[in-house]
């Protein structure tokens, strides 16, 4: 039984990903998703962020240079979730994926959020999502948020966000 609860202000700050090829990963995370390169250490590590933060994602080849893609079966990271500030920015991200012919592995409406799922060049799962305003979250009888595992996401309506 848990008798300690983290403070509400706790956030997950950054993630380090083992990748096979720094340049290939930067082409995806920087070139397609739009992260800013903060620092690069040869072909062994790169630190990227949104908005000038020291880093949201670190990419490294310390134990993975030239290795095959991540396995979908077994233990490990399921995906990295990247939170967009609003639905219009999520739609812009989706449009960039389309323009770069980057395939999705899924889409979902979770009630509290809307999400696009894809894999990076190394097979690491990536979720691009935006939260709905808390006032719009579906709620259980006890008032806690009601999450849906995978309701259909209206992808055409998401893209229409760019015209609004």
Q: What tens digit of pLDDT does each residue of 96-131 get? A: 999 999 999 999 999 999 999 999 999 999 999 999
pLDDT reported for residue 76: 85
Max Cα-Cα span within the chain: 54
Q: How far apart are CA 107 and CA 152, in angstroms?
A: 7
Q: What tens digit of pLDDT does each residue of 48-91 get? A: 999 999 999 999 999 999 999 988 888 888 999 999 999 999 99
Q: What is the mean pLDDT of residues 2-9?
A: 89
Q: What angle do CA 33, 11, 134 make, to 5 degrees?
A: 80
Task: Return mean pLDDT, the chain.
Answer: 95
Q: Which domains does the chain carry? A: 1-66 (3.10.180.10), 79-164 (3.10.180.10)
Alpha helices in 46-145 (DSSP H): 87-99
The token pair that represents 123 in the structure block: 């097979």
3-state secondary structure of 80: strand
């Amino acid at each position: 039984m848990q008798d300690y609860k983290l403070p509400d202000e706790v956030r997950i700050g950054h993630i380090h990903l083992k990748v096979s090829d720094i340049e290939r990963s930067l082409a995806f995370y920087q070139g397609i998703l739009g992260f800013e390169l903060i620092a690069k250490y040869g072909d062994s590590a790169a630190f990227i962020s949104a908005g000038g933060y020291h880093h949201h994602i670190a990419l490294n080849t310390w134990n993975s240079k030239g290795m095959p893609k991540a396995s979908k079966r077994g233990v490990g990271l399921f995906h990295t979730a990247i939170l967009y500030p609003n639905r219009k920015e999520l739609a812009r991200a989706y449009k960039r994926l389309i323009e770069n012919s980057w395939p999705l592995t899924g889409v979902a409406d979770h009630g509290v959020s809307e999400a696009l799922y894809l894999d990076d060049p190394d097979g690491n799962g990536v979720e691009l999502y935006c939260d709905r305003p808390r006032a719009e979250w579906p709620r259980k009888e006890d008032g806690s948020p009601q999450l849906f595992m995978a309701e259909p996401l209206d992808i055409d309506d998401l893209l229409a966000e760019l015209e609004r």
